[in-house]
Amino acid sequence: MQSALVNVGPTLHTTLFSEKESVVVTSATLSYKNTFDLFEDRTGFRADSKTILGSPFNYQDSTLLLIPNDFQTQEIQTT
């Protein structure tokens, strides 16, 4: 698996944010530590109005993390 940081800010700014009079951006993961700073820095989006709403999802009662402990060890062969 590989990953690469993608800079979508300039494209979003020129094709969406600067072209529209009004834009609504919504997602469960736009804010981080109760700010939109990370989202705004990465997308170039600057909002006139921002609202952070609480989640109705009860993480403590509805989340289960399973960590298997019975996987076979895979030997890595180098030549």
Whether residue 56 contacts residue 50, with contact meaning beta carbons closer than 8 Å, is answered with no
74 CB-side CA count, 13 A: 3
Tens-place pLDDT, residues 4-49: 767 888 888 888 888 888 888 888 888 989 899 998 888 888 888 8
Q: Angle at Cα 53 formed by Cα 42 and Cα 12, nearest 5°?
A: 25
Considering the entire predicted model, what is its pTM? 0.57
Please choose, from the candidates 23, 56, 60, 19, the residue with its C-alpha nearest in 3D space to the C-alpha of residue 39: 23
Q: Return the pLDDT at 37.
A: 92
Domain regions of the chain by residue span: 9-53
